[in-house]
Amino acid sequence: TSRCHASCRQSETSSPGPVGYRIPTFDYRTLLQIRRRLTQEDKEGEKDKGNKTTKTAATAPKKGSKSKKRGGTVEDSKDSNWSDEGKRNAAKFMRTYADLGIDGIKAEYREKIESYKSPSYSDAAYKANMAKNRHKHLTTLSDDLRVSMDEGKRYINASWLYDKTKVHRQYILTQTPLESTMEDFWTMVFEHKVIVVAILCDNQENGQEIMPDFWPTKPGDFKNYGNMAVSFKKSEEIAKEIVTQLEVLPEGCSNSHLVCIVQFKAWGETFTQSMGRNLLKVIRVIAKVEGLTAGPIAVMDELSGISRASIMCCADVYSALIYKGDKQATLPDVCKWARKARPGAVKSEDDYLSIIKTIMEYLYRTNQEKFAEQFQKICGNPEDLN
């Protein structure tokens, strides 16, 4: 049986992802329904232009809109729509880290995260496939939460984040594809039914190539990556970002898969309020697309998923846990999970501070009057956020 047939079989069975994650199956009727919904979203978007409020994790909804909870993923950030447990969690988070201050936050990182290494750490697959790793001087992948393909026979530098029993949204942290791994990447997208690919970097940064083009960029175009055919279906603007819908079809298969890809290019070297806003914008765009169907979100950045991608994912996951009213998981716990998946994730005090600032900006937007003083202690003047 050829490799592409194995991919098709995998799409109809349980995924090798975390906690028995089951891949949803799609037929052409489902794909047509999704396309119709995207078209309807376009029409509604035209009517709503100029309205800055959107029901997502990053912005408050219109007055009178109803709250939605989806397995712990935050979709509505207005304080009045939170549960009492969620409100208490939010207040505790803001109070705790405002009281710690910048120096205390950095001390918490050094004490609880900096030296953390998973007790079950193994990098055997990483070392056995060095030609498929972009950053060979960094160990960016461990075997603990590695994404499996083709029933475990195929390697890709990608990891699962977070526990599906606690949050609905599942992330895959991965590297930007190499010329030699583009087929692997699109195979992963198809097998695991990835619904969004979020790219948190430019093609080149600081004079260095971060990634080659690995998807068709013009309407009607298609490209073959080994046995995987990828075609450009449509593009739309969401939150001023261009989201491209692609169709992925393995050779010899009759059922294709739709995925949306969006590239965010506006990044600075260090955290600023604009960077925090960019991270929340990424989450907002993901939530908009995620509302159409279910599936993992693949995120990549300039450093194999251990830089901006891990910051954003940790911030979003812990924001969802706060919203749910979870009383067990701590922010260091989430960061340790990220480091278990990708040993270089949350690699510095500044990264940890960036996660906290991003969560604080999100929570501040839910109740500006209540959290203004605490926000200002860590993030500075909030005047330019609105």
CB 336 within 8 A of CB 113: yes
- 131 part of a folded domain: yes
In a domain, 257, yes or no: yes
Q: Does an H or E element contain 243, and which?
A: strand 241-250
Is 386 part of any domain?
Answer: no
CA distance 124 to 141: 10
18-32, 75-89, 96-110, 260-274: the lowest-pLDDT one: 18-32
Q: Please tell me the distance from the alpha carbon of residue 94 to that of residue 106, in angstroms, as a whole number.
A: 16
State the residue range of the domain holding 315: 3-381
Q: Are 332 and 93 within 8 A, CB to CB?
A: no
**Residue at 163 is within a domain:** yes
Q: Residue 242 — φ and ψ, nearest 5°?
A: -85, 115
Least confident range from 29-33, 82-86, 215-219, 225-229: namely: 29-33
Can you give the pLDDT at residue 206?
76
In contact, 326 and 243? CB cutoff 8 Å: no
CATH of the domain at 13: 3.90.190.10
Question: How many distinct structural domains can be found in the chain?
Answer: 1
Whole-angstrom distance, CA of residue 354 vs CA of residue 357: 5
Least confident of 124-138, 156-170, 283-297, 354-368: 283-297
377 part of a folded domain? yes
Mean pLDDT value across residues 282-298: 83
pLDDT in tens, 180-213: 999 999 999 999 999 999 999 988 777 777 888 9
Check residues 48 and 177 and name the one with the higher pLDDT.
Answer: 177
pLDDT tens digits, residue range 308-351?
999 999 999 999 999 999 999 999 999 999 999 999 899 999 99
Cα 111 from Cα 116, distance rounded (Å): 9
CA–CA–CA angle 348, 354, 360 (5° rounding): 145
